Amino acid sequence: NAGVTQTPKFRILKIGQSMTLQCTQDMNHNYMYWYRQDPGMGLKLIYYSVGAGITDKGEVPNGYNVSRSTTEDFPLRLELAAPSQTSVYFCASSSRGAAYEQYFGPGTRLTVT
């Protein structure tokens, strides 16, 4: 099992550009999450999904979009990148939801300049 994989590992974007952060899990987990982690701040939930076709906003969804067409994949879309979106982004999955263990991917370090 590869667990949760994320691509790319690093990316530099110019202001106004768009990109998609990829997240794939091979554990057949229904629950998937996107977090961002800024220096000196806790992980913040951006979006989550409880199964294919079902997504909902987290704490900081503005500037992002998600889709969940399959159980395995949960891409995060950034439209019109802004410097405030410079962060490390983590994808996570869980077999039984946030009341139980979440398995995190290795992260994507994004810089917007």
Given the rule CB under 8 A, which residues bind other proteins?
31, 33, 35, 40-45, 48, 50, 56, 58-59, 90, 97-102, 104-107
User: Least separation, in Å, of the C-beta of 45 and other proteins?
Assistant: 6
Q: Could you say which DSSP state residue 9 is in?
A: S
Q: Which residues pair with 21 in a beta bridge?
A: 76
Residue closer to other proteins, measured from CB, 14 or 41? 41
How many CB atoms within 10 Å of residue 39?
Answer: 6
**Residue type at position 104:** F
Kindly tell me which of 18 and 95 has the beta carbon lying closer to other proteins: 95
Taking Cα atoms as reference points, which of 23, 85, 25, 24 lies closest to residue 60? Answer: 85
Phi, psi of 20, deg, nearest 5: -120, 130
Nearer to other proteins among residue 8 and residue 16 (C-beta): 8
